[in-house]
């Protein structure tokens, strides 16, 4: 079937786009093309300097919109009996269009902080939506899960994803208000555990660090909890990956400050945040679509990693 592959490609494409967007800002290329949607009045400008990164980012963004629109149109006949797929796909298209408009506004109004931050928030929202679609349409689903563990996993992974989303939006605010070096020392901030919160830059940076600690503890704790619970291997491995990613994310945040916002750690900081969000949404989606153990739908499949369960034909799937 077409749509599972298309949605997986969409997730990967969105991650690349987010990385490029971070490179654009880190290299101060955001206004290299002063007009929109063209670049110096043309769609094929000379790809040098900042124009290379800014226009490449636009081309990849345009490609994502076209690819997702084509995939949605081609999949319309393949989702009979599963109307939620088309509803979410159409919502995804609308989200992409709005996000593209905000991208244009960031250029036309010369990078207003709230517009630029909203631009990234919409991109992360689309990534989460695409991840749900990719998970819900995959050919195999996890082995049946105990009802209590299934519900707890869905809630905990969902809370983790929400925390990462909030942290990422706060990070975008730090980036777009030029607060990345508001606290130039690590682990203290201006030599204090709690710095004087005298302006937006220091306040945003400090609370970004505080929330980072909370997110790291929550995700590492979730991965530890998963090791003591009977869950599908795919879910446990994904949570182990999430724990590794969040520790890497903290390290990249520290490296960003110590290198005075070098392009590599700053750009990877955004990419890892996006990857972490996708992993947690994937786990929450696995729990949502997984059948309940004891329902008799997949006898003997409890120790298997995946099973050929169709959530739309199985009434036990919530």
pLDDT tens digits along 65-101: 998 998 888 777 777 678 888 899 999 999 999 999 9
Shared domain for 6 and 125, answered yes or no, is yes
Q: What is the pLDDT of residues 19-49, one digit of tens each?
A: 999 999 999 999 999 999 999 999 999 999 9
Largest interatomic CA distance in the chain: 63
Give the residue from 139, 160, 177 where a domain finishes: 139
Say which residue, 238 or 231, is predicted with more confidence: 238
Shared domain for 156 and 115, answered yes or no, is no
Q: What is the pLDDT of residue 290?
A: 86
Shared domain for 214 and 263, answered yes or no, is yes
Give the residue from 122, 139, 156 where a domain finishes: 139
Shared domain for 129 and 235, answered yes or no, is no
Shared domain for 168 and 283, answered yes or no, is yes
Q: What is the pLDDT of residue 139?
A: 74
| Residue range 102-130: mean pLDDT, rounded | 94
Q: What percent of the chain has pLDDT over 90?
A: 75
Shared domain for 130 and 153, answered yes or no, is no
Shared domain for 129 and 165, answered yes or no, is no
Shared domain for 18 and 54, answered yes or no, is yes
pTM of the model: 0.89
| Domain coverage including residue 40 | 1-139
Q: What is the pLDDT of residue 77?
A: 73
Shared domain for 114 and 150, answered yes or no, is no
Shared domain for 177 and 128, answered yes or no, is no
Q: What percent of the chain has pLDDT over 70?
A: 89
Mean per-residue pLDDT over the chain, rounded? 88
User: Per-residue pLDDT for 315 more than 50?
Assistant: no
Shared domain for 131 and 164, answered yes or no, is no
Give the residue from 120, 139, 158 where a domain finishes: 139
271 — phi, psi (to 5°)?
A: -60, -45
Q: How many Å apart are CA 236 and CA 251, to the nearest integer?
A: 23
HSE of 258 in the Cβ direction (CA atoms, 13 Å)?
A: 10
The number of distinct structural domains making up the chain is 2
Shared domain for 153 and 239, answered yes or no, is yes
């Amino acid at each position: 079937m077409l749509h599972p592959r298309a949605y997986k490609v969409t997730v990967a494409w969105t991650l690349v786009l987010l990385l490029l967007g971070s490179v654009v800002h880190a290299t101060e290329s955001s206004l290299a093309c002063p007009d929109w949607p063209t670049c110096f009045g043309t769609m094929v400008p000379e790809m040098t300097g900042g124009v290379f990164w800014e226009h490449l980012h636009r081309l990849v963004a345009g490609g994502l919109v076209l690819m997702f629109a084509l995939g949605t149109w081609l999949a319309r006949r393949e989702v009979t009996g599963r109307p939620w797929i088309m509803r979410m796909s159409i919502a995804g298209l609308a989200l992409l269009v709005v996000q593209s408009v905000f991208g244009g506004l960031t250029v036309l109004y010369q990078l207003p902080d709230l517009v630029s931050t909203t631009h990234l928030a919409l991109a992360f929202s689309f990534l989460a939506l695409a991840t749900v679609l990719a998970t819900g349409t995959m050919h195999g689903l996890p082995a049946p899960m105990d009802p209590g563990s299934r519900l707890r996993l869905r809630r905990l992974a969902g809370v983790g994803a929400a925390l990462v989303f909030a942290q990422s939006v706060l990070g975008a605010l730090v980036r777009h208000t030029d607060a990345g070096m508001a606290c130039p020392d690590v682990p203290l901030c201006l030599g204090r555990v709690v710095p004087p919160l005298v302006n937006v830059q220091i306040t945003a940076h400090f609370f970004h660090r505080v929330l980072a600690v909370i997110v790291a503890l929550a995700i590492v704790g979730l991965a530890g909890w998963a090791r003591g619970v009977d869950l599908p291997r795919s879910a446990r491995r994904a949570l182990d990956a999430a724990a590794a990613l969040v520790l890497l994310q903290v390290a990249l945040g520290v490296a960003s400050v110590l290198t005075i916002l070098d392009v590599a750690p700053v750009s990877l900081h955004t990419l890892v945040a996006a990857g972490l969000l996708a992993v947690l949404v994937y786990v929450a989606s696995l729990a949502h679509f997984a059948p309940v153990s004891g329902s008799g739908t997949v006898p003997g499949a409890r120790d298997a990693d995946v099973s050929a369960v169709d959530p739309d034909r199985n009434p036990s799937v919530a």
